[in-house]
Amino acid sequence: MLSHPVIKFLRRFYSGNMAAILGTLIVSTVIIMSAFASVIAENDPKKRVARGHQPPSAELLLGSTRSGKDVFSQVLHGGQVSLMVAFGAALITITIAICVGVSAGYFGGRVDEFLMSLTNIILVFPQLPLLIILAAFLGQVGPVVIALIIGLSSWAWGARVIRSQTLAVRNKEFILAAEVMGESKWRIILFEILPNLISIVVGMAMGTCIYALMAEAGLGFLGLGDSTIVTWGTMLFWAQSNSAFIVGAWWDMVVPGTAIAIFGGGLALLNMSVDQISNPKLKTGSYIKTWRRMKTEVEARRAQS
């Protein structure tokens, strides 16, 4: 069992890779805690349980908001929504990016030209301002719509990357061989091209997750989300509206912000370690220390003789 290729791959990936280990730990902890929010935090995040702006204490681990709601409970329950939005948006983005990128790369010609012109135009637009305007026009939108608009506006970059990767794979001989043998185009795409894209897609997924998380936070902060729903973004909004920092209730603002930073940071660490697998030149192995030590030894010997 220990020699199963997947296990072997995981062992190779994690050994000595502090970033990967730390990242995975953080990400899984946050996900698990949010998933079990109702179990861990007994207070209803929407109910008033104490006086406004109480500092963290034994009863209220992370204090209370302006309207007396439990911040600890809010951050856990809010995490559920924020994470769902992030994952959902990432899923939408990747799906569109793969469809567009692979089609453009594989079919080439006019399909490629059309898709790429479209992609390039979308790419040059600043994404967040676009999101802001969309959300503003749509009114107080709930998390589902937020996930949707994030997903629909951020696929362009991924599509370009996937397209170039597809192009690189497409011209490899085994694809040409498959075509000559008469394999159907769909089978080729699914079984020959897609497996080669996995490492890129994984990296993209994580990057988009981080971006979506921040976008949700940003939109929430600006008051564009449904402020009656508890998410990390709306927590920020309420904290800002209630001038949390100015009145000294720093926990109101710090908690959601830090939650986002921790999860985003964990994902970023994971992302970096995946990056280094695909481009080993960027990785710094332990051999460098050995090399430096040996170099000094050799030079000392040479100076003496």
Partner 1 sequence: MSFVLRRFAFYFVAIMVAITFNFIMPRMMPGDPVDALFASAQGRMSLETLAAYKEMLGFVDGPLHEQYFIYLKSIFTWDLGPSIMLYPLPVSDLLAVKVPWTVGLAGMSTFISVFIGLLIGTYASYHRAGFVDRFMPGFWAFVGAMPQPVTALYIFFIFALTWKVFPLSYGANPDIDPSYSWEYLSSILYHAVLPISSMILGGIGAWIFNMRNAMINVLGEDYITMAKAKGLSNGRIMSHYAARNALLPVVTAVSMQIGFIMAGAIFIETVYNYPGVGLLLFKALGARDYPTMQACFLLIVVFVLVANFIADLLNLWLDPRLRK
Partner 2 sequence: MTGVREPLLSISDLCVDYITDDGNARAVNKVNLDIYPGETVGLAGESGCGKSTLAFAIANLHNAPALITGGKINFQGRDILTLSPEELRQFRWSKASMVFQSAMNSLNPVITIGDQLVDVVLAHETISVTEAEKRAIAMLDMVGIHASRIKSYPHQLSGGMRQRVVIAIALILRPKLIIMDEPTTALDVVVERDIMDQLYDLKEQLGFAILFISHDLGLMGQITDRIGIMYAGQMVELGETEGIIANPQHPYTQGLLSSFPTIHGPKERLEGIPGNPLNLLDVPAGCYFQDRCSQCDTICIDVMPNIEVLQVPDERQVACHKVSQGDAL
Nearest Cα to 275, choosing from 16, 7, 19?
19
| Partner from partner 1, partner 2, none contacting 294, C-beta within 5 to 8 A by type | partner 2
Determine if 302 is a binding residue for partner 2 (CB under 8 A).
yes
Tokens of 248: 């000294």
Identify which of residues 32 and 298 has a Cβ nearer to partner 2 in the complex.
298
**From residue 132 to residue 151, what is the string marking binding to partner 1 with x (rule CB under 8 A)?**
xxx-xx--------------
Identify which of residues 106 and 238 has a Cβ nearer to partner 1 in the complex.
238
Cα 153 to Cα 74: distance, rounded to the nearest angstrom: 29
User: Among 149, 217, 230, 249, which residue sits at the site for partner 1 (rule: CB under 8 A)?
Assistant: 217
Cα 277 to Cα 12: distance, rounded to the nearest angstrom: 10
* 8 Å CB contact between 54 and 60: yes
Task: Give 70's DSSP letter.
Answer: B
* 8 Å CB contact between 256 and 270: no
Which residues, numbered 18-37, are part of the site for partner 1 (CB under 8 A)?
18-19, 22
Nearest Cα to 89, choosing from 207, 266, 228?
207
| Residue 118 Cβ vs partner 1, minimum distance, rounded to whole Å | 10
User: Among 1, 181, 288, 300, which residue sits at the site for partner 2 (rule: CB under 8 A)?
Assistant: 288
Determine if 281 is a binding residue for partner 2 (CB under 8 A).
no
Distances (CA, A) of 248 to 51, 73, 152, 258: 15, 21, 39, 17
Determine if 114 is a binding residue for partner 2 (CB under 8 A).
no
Task: Give 192's DSSP letter.
Answer: I
Determine if 253 is a binding residue for partner 1 (CB under 8 A).
yes
User: Among 60, 97, 205, 268, which residue sits at the site for partner 1 (rule: CB under 8 A)?
Assistant: 268
| Partner from partner 1, partner 2, none contacting 264, C-beta within 5 to 8 A by type | partner 1
Q: How many residues bind partner 1 (CB under 8 A)?
A: 53
Cα 204 to Cα 207: distance, rounded to the nearest angstrom: 5
Determine if 291 is a binding residue for partner 2 (CB under 8 A).
yes
Determine if 262 is a binding residue for partner 1 (CB under 8 A).
yes
Q: Is the dihedral of CA 218, 224, 225, 228 positive or negative?
A: positive
Determine if 264 is a binding residue for partner 1 (CB under 8 A).
yes
Cα 190 to Cα 259: distance, rounded to the nearest angstrom: 38
Which residues, numbered 270-289, are part of the site for partner 1 (CB under 8 A)?
272, 279, 281-282, 284, 286, 288-289
Determine if 287 is a binding residue for partner 2 (CB under 8 A).
yes
Q: CB neighbours of 52 closer than 8 A, spacing ≥ 6?
A: 64, 65, 66, 67, 68
Contacts to partner 2 by CB under 8 A: 285-288, 290-292, 294-295, 298, 302-303
